Structure 1
Amino acid sequence: MRTLIFTILLTVIAAQSVCAQASAREQEILKLSKDKWQWMADKNVAVLGELFHDKSMFIHMGGTWGKQQEIDVIKSGNIWYKKAEVYSVTVNFIGNTAIVLNDIDLEAVVGDNTVINPFMVTEVYINENGQWKMGSLTFSRLLRPVKMRSGS
Protein backbone atom coordinates (compact mmCIF):
# COMPACT_ATOMS: atom_id res chain seq x y z
CA MET A 1 0.00 0.00 0.00
CA ARG A 2 2.86 2.39 0.84
CA THR A 3 4.43 1.71 -2.53
CA LEU A 4 1.17 2.51 -4.32
CA ILE A 5 0.73 5.82 -2.48
CA PHE A 6 4.37 6.74 -3.11
CA THR A 7 4.01 5.93 -6.82
CA ILE A 8 0.84 8.03 -7.11
CA LEU A 9 2.53 10.93 -5.31
CA LEU A 10 5.55 10.80 -7.63
CA THR A 11 3.27 10.66 -10.68
CA VAL A 12 1.36 13.76 -9.53
CA ILE A 13 4.60 15.66 -8.88
CA ALA A 14 6.01 14.65 -12.27
CA ALA A 15 2.78 15.70 -14.03
CA GLN A 16 2.87 19.10 -12.32
CA SER A 17 6.49 19.55 -13.38
CA VAL A 18 5.67 18.72 -17.02
CA CYS A 19 2.72 21.17 -16.99
CA ALA A 20 4.92 23.91 -15.54
CA GLN A 21 7.57 23.30 -18.21
CA ALA A 22 4.98 23.31 -21.00
CA SER A 23 3.51 26.49 -19.59
CA ALA A 24 6.94 28.15 -19.40
CA ARG A 25 7.69 27.12 -22.99
CA GLU A 26 4.30 28.42 -24.11
CA GLN A 27 4.87 31.72 -22.30
CA GLU A 28 8.28 32.05 -23.96
CA ILE A 29 6.73 31.66 -27.42
CA LEU A 30 3.83 34.01 -26.62
CA LYS A 31 6.28 36.68 -25.49
CA LEU A 32 8.44 36.16 -28.57
CA SER A 33 5.40 36.51 -30.83
CA LYS A 34 4.25 39.66 -29.04
CA ASP A 35 7.75 41.17 -29.14
CA LYS A 36 8.00 40.34 -32.85
CA TRP A 37 4.95 42.54 -33.61
CA GLN A 38 6.64 45.43 -31.79
CA TRP A 39 9.97 44.85 -33.54
CA MET A 40 8.13 44.89 -36.87
CA ALA A 41 6.33 48.13 -35.96
CA ASP A 42 9.65 49.66 -34.88
CA LYS A 43 11.34 48.39 -38.09
CA ASN A 44 13.99 46.78 -35.88
CA VAL A 45 15.61 44.77 -38.66
CA ALA A 46 18.68 43.91 -36.58
CA VAL A 47 16.63 41.92 -34.06
CA LEU A 48 14.30 40.54 -36.74
CA GLY A 49 17.31 39.38 -38.74
CA GLU A 50 18.37 37.28 -35.76
CA LEU A 51 14.83 35.96 -35.23
CA PHE A 52 14.17 34.94 -38.85
CA HIS A 53 15.71 31.62 -39.87
CA ASP A 54 17.93 31.87 -42.96
CA LYS A 55 15.48 29.58 -44.80
CA SER A 56 12.33 31.34 -43.52
CA MET A 57 9.41 32.13 -45.83
CA PHE A 58 6.92 35.00 -45.66
CA ILE A 59 3.50 34.67 -47.27
CA HIS A 60 1.59 37.92 -47.88
CA MET A 61 -1.47 38.92 -49.88
CA GLY A 62 0.84 40.36 -52.54
CA GLY A 63 3.56 37.73 -52.71
CA THR A 64 5.82 35.17 -51.11
CA TRP A 65 9.50 35.64 -50.36
CA GLY A 66 12.39 34.74 -48.11
CA LYS A 67 14.23 36.29 -45.19
CA GLN A 68 16.33 38.88 -46.98
CA GLN A 69 13.44 40.28 -49.01
CA GLU A 70 11.29 40.52 -45.85
CA ILE A 71 14.09 42.37 -44.06
CA ASP A 72 14.50 44.67 -47.09
CA VAL A 73 10.74 45.34 -47.26
CA ILE A 74 10.64 46.28 -43.56
CA LYS A 75 13.83 48.35 -43.71
CA SER A 76 12.71 50.30 -46.79
CA GLY A 77 9.24 50.94 -45.39
CA ASN A 78 7.55 49.35 -48.43
CA ILE A 79 5.45 47.62 -45.82
CA TRP A 80 5.34 49.22 -42.38
CA TYR A 81 3.64 46.94 -39.88
CA LYS A 82 2.42 49.95 -37.95
CA LYS A 83 0.21 48.23 -35.38
CA ALA A 84 -1.09 44.73 -34.76
CA GLU A 85 -4.14 44.51 -32.52
CA VAL A 86 -4.11 40.90 -31.33
CA TYR A 87 -7.48 39.43 -30.30
CA SER A 88 -6.49 35.83 -29.63
CA VAL A 89 -3.38 33.67 -29.72
CA THR A 90 -2.99 29.90 -29.59
CA VAL A 91 0.20 27.85 -29.48
CA ASN A 92 0.65 24.22 -30.47
CA PHE A 93 3.92 22.32 -30.10
CA ILE A 94 5.07 19.47 -32.30
CA GLY A 95 8.47 18.33 -31.11
CA ASN A 96 10.84 21.29 -31.44
CA THR A 97 8.33 23.26 -33.55
CA ALA A 98 5.83 25.81 -32.25
CA ILE A 99 2.85 26.87 -34.36
CA VAL A 100 1.29 30.16 -33.28
CA LEU A 101 -2.06 31.40 -34.57
CA ASN A 102 -2.88 35.10 -34.10
CA ASP A 103 -6.31 36.59 -34.84
CA ILE A 104 -5.36 40.22 -35.53
CA ASP A 105 -6.27 43.44 -37.18
CA LEU A 106 -3.14 44.83 -38.81
CA GLU A 107 -2.72 48.51 -39.52
CA ALA A 108 0.00 48.79 -42.14
CA VAL A 109 1.36 51.37 -44.48
CA VAL A 110 1.81 49.80 -47.90
CA GLY A 111 3.44 52.23 -50.30
CA ASP A 112 1.66 55.49 -49.48
CA ASN A 113 -1.60 53.90 -48.29
CA THR A 114 -2.60 53.08 -44.73
CA VAL A 115 -4.72 49.95 -44.65
CA ILE A 116 -6.29 47.86 -41.90
CA ASN A 117 -6.96 44.19 -42.57
CA PRO A 118 -8.23 41.34 -40.42
CA PHE A 119 -5.82 38.39 -40.56
CA MET A 120 -5.25 34.98 -39.10
CA VAL A 121 -1.46 34.98 -38.92
CA THR A 122 0.37 31.67 -38.72
CA GLU A 123 3.85 31.82 -37.23
CA VAL A 124 6.07 28.75 -37.24
CA TYR A 125 9.04 28.69 -34.88
CA ILE A 126 11.74 26.02 -34.76
CA ASN A 127 13.93 25.50 -31.72
CA GLU A 128 17.51 25.02 -32.90
CA ASN A 129 20.29 24.67 -30.35
CA GLY A 130 18.07 26.10 -27.60
CA GLN A 131 17.05 29.19 -29.62
CA TRP A 132 13.70 29.85 -31.29
CA LYS A 133 13.89 30.89 -34.96
CA MET A 134 10.95 31.91 -37.12
CA GLY A 135 10.55 29.53 -40.05
CA SER A 136 7.42 30.98 -41.59
CA LEU A 137 4.98 33.87 -41.28
CA THR A 138 1.71 33.62 -43.21
CA PHE A 139 -1.02 36.26 -43.42
CA SER A 140 -4.46 34.80 -44.26
CA ARG A 141 -7.11 37.49 -44.73
CA LEU A 142 -10.27 36.88 -42.71
CA LEU A 143 -13.81 37.61 -43.87
CA ARG A 144 -14.82 39.13 -40.52
CA PRO A 145 -15.13 42.91 -40.25
CA VAL A 146 -12.23 44.95 -38.95
CA LYS A 147 -12.54 45.59 -35.20
CA MET A 148 -9.71 48.11 -34.83
CA ARG A 149 -10.41 51.81 -35.00
CA SER A 150 -8.09 53.62 -37.41
CA GLY A 151 -5.12 55.21 -35.66
CA SER A 152 -5.87 53.51 -32.33
Structure 2
Amino acid sequence: MNAKETSIAIWNAMHDEDAQMLKEKIMPGALFVHMGITADRDEEIDIIMKRGIVYDKIDIKSQTENKVGPVTFVYTKMKLTAIVNGNTVVNPFVVTEAYIEDEGSLRLASMSYTRIND
Protein backbone atom coordinates (compact mmCIF):
# COMPACT_ATOMS: atom_id res chain seq x y z
CA MET A 1 0.00 0.00 0.00
CA ASN A 2 1.50 3.37 -1.00
CA ALA A 3 1.20 6.57 1.04
CA LYS A 4 -1.90 7.90 -0.74
CA GLU A 5 -3.68 4.56 -0.30
CA THR A 6 -2.68 4.49 3.37
CA SER A 7 -3.97 8.06 3.75
CA ILE A 8 -7.35 7.12 2.25
CA ALA A 9 -7.53 4.07 4.53
CA ILE A 10 -6.92 6.30 7.57
CA TRP A 11 -9.53 8.88 6.50
CA ASN A 12 -12.05 6.07 5.94
CA ALA A 13 -11.22 4.57 9.34
CA MET A 14 -11.70 7.95 11.03
CA HIS A 15 -15.06 8.34 9.28
CA ASP A 16 -16.09 4.77 10.16
CA GLU A 17 -14.76 5.05 13.73
CA ASP A 18 -12.61 1.94 13.18
CA ALA A 19 -10.18 2.03 16.11
CA GLN A 20 -8.44 -1.22 15.13
CA MET A 21 -7.62 0.03 11.62
CA LEU A 22 -6.37 3.33 13.05
CA LYS A 23 -4.05 1.51 15.46
CA GLU A 24 -2.68 -0.56 12.59
CA LYS A 25 -2.03 2.40 10.26
CA ILE A 26 -0.83 4.99 12.81
CA MET A 27 2.41 4.75 14.78
CA PRO A 28 2.07 4.84 18.60
CA GLY A 29 4.12 8.06 18.86
CA ALA A 30 2.22 9.89 16.10
CA LEU A 31 0.90 13.40 16.74
CA PHE A 32 -2.22 15.09 15.39
CA VAL A 33 -2.20 18.89 15.27
CA HIS A 34 -5.70 20.29 14.83
CA MET A 35 -6.92 23.86 14.91
CA GLY A 36 -7.64 23.64 18.63
CA ILE A 37 -5.73 20.66 20.03
CA THR A 38 -2.66 18.49 19.72
CA ALA A 39 -3.18 14.80 20.46
CA ASP A 40 -1.14 11.62 20.28
CA ARG A 41 -2.45 8.54 18.50
CA ASP A 42 -4.32 7.07 21.44
CA GLU A 43 -5.82 10.44 22.44
CA GLU A 44 -6.97 11.01 18.85
CA ILE A 45 -8.57 7.56 18.65
CA ASP A 46 -10.23 8.13 22.03
CA ILE A 47 -11.68 11.46 20.82
CA ILE A 48 -13.06 9.75 17.71
CA MET A 49 -14.49 6.79 19.62
CA LYS A 50 -16.15 9.09 22.19
CA ARG A 51 -17.52 11.11 19.24
CA GLY A 52 -15.82 14.34 20.35
CA ILE A 53 -14.99 14.69 16.64
CA VAL A 54 -17.25 12.94 14.13
CA TYR A 55 -15.83 12.92 10.61
CA ASP A 56 -19.19 13.41 8.88
CA LYS A 57 -18.10 14.16 5.29
CA ILE A 58 -14.58 14.05 3.91
CA ASP A 59 -14.49 15.62 0.45
CA ILE A 60 -10.94 15.10 -0.84
CA LYS A 61 -10.18 17.52 -3.68
CA SER A 62 -6.61 16.39 -4.37
CA GLN A 63 -3.66 14.55 -2.91
CA THR A 64 0.01 14.93 -3.75
CA GLU A 65 2.84 12.77 -2.51
CA ASN A 66 6.44 13.86 -1.91
CA LYS A 67 9.20 11.57 -0.65
CA VAL A 68 12.04 13.26 1.23
CA GLY A 69 14.63 10.79 2.47
CA PRO A 70 12.90 8.18 4.64
CA VAL A 71 9.70 10.25 5.01
CA THR A 72 6.82 10.31 2.54
CA PHE A 73 4.56 13.34 2.83
CA VAL A 74 0.99 13.39 1.58
CA TYR A 75 -0.68 16.78 1.16
CA THR A 76 -4.44 16.35 1.14
CA LYS A 77 -6.60 19.28 0.03
CA MET A 78 -10.14 18.74 1.31
CA LYS A 79 -13.35 20.18 2.59
CA LEU A 80 -14.10 18.53 5.91
CA THR A 81 -17.52 18.51 7.51
CA ALA A 82 -17.21 17.41 11.11
CA ILE A 83 -19.29 17.45 14.24
CA VAL A 84 -17.14 18.81 17.04
CA ASN A 85 -18.64 18.66 20.52
CA GLY A 86 -22.11 18.60 18.98
CA ASN A 87 -21.57 21.47 16.52
CA THR A 88 -21.33 20.98 12.75
CA VAL A 89 -18.31 22.75 11.29
CA VAL A 90 -17.17 22.90 7.67
CA ASN A 91 -13.59 23.83 6.88
CA PRO A 92 -11.35 23.75 3.84
CA PHE A 93 -7.99 22.27 4.81
CA VAL A 94 -4.67 21.17 3.50
CA VAL A 95 -3.68 18.30 5.74
CA THR A 96 0.01 17.40 5.90
CA GLU A 97 0.56 13.72 6.62
CA ALA A 98 4.02 12.25 7.25
CA TYR A 99 4.57 8.52 6.70
CA ILE A 100 7.54 6.32 7.50
CA GLU A 101 8.13 2.65 6.85
CA ASP A 102 7.55 0.56 9.95
CA GLU A 103 7.53 -3.23 10.02
CA GLY A 104 7.31 -3.41 6.22
CA SER A 105 4.48 -0.94 5.64
CA LEU A 106 3.95 2.80 5.67
CA ARG A 107 2.49 4.16 8.89
CA LEU A 108 1.39 7.65 9.81
CA ALA A 109 3.84 9.54 12.04
CA SER A 110 2.24 13.00 11.98
CA MET A 111 -0.92 14.74 10.75
CA SER A 112 -1.35 18.53 10.78
CA TYR A 113 -4.37 20.51 9.64
CA THR A 114 -3.97 23.93 8.01
CA ARG A 115 -7.15 25.86 7.29
CA ILE A 116 -7.09 27.53 3.88
CA ASN A 117 -9.27 29.99 1.98
CA ASP A 118 -11.50 27.98 -0.30
Q: Which amino acid aligns with 1:61?
A: M
Asked whether the equivalents of residues 26 and 108 of structure 2 are also in contact (C-alpha less than 8 Å), the reply is: yes
1:3-14 equivalences under 5 Å are none
Q: Counterpart in 1 of 2:69?
A: 95
- Higher relative helix content: 1
Q: Which amino acid aligns with 2:114?
A: S
Q: Which amino acid aligns with 2:27?
A: H
**Cα distance, 1:89 vs structure 2:** 0.6
**Cα distance, 1:35 vs structure 2:** 1.7
Q: Counterpart in 2 of 1:116?
A: 90
Q: Which amino acid aligns with 1:32?
A: T
Normalising by structure 1, we get a TM-score of 0.74
Gaps of 5+ in 1: 1-26, 145-152
Q: Deviations over 1:97-130 (max 9, x none)?
A: 1100011000101011111100000011110231
1:59-98 equivalences under 5 Å are 59-98=33-72
Q: How many residues align?
A: 118
Q: Deviations over 1:63-110 (max 9, x none)?
A: 112111101001100001122111111000123311000110001010
Q: Which amino acid aligns with 1:34?
A: I
User: In 1, Cα distance between the equivalents of 2:42 and 2:57?
Assistant: 22
Q: Percent identity?
A: 34
**Cα distance, 1:137 vs structure 2:** 0.7
1:21-32 equivalences under 5 Å are 28-32=2-6
Normalising by structure 2, we get a TM-score of 0.94
Tell me which of 107, 113, 120 is aligned to 2:81: 107
Q: Which amino acid aligns with 1:58?
A: F
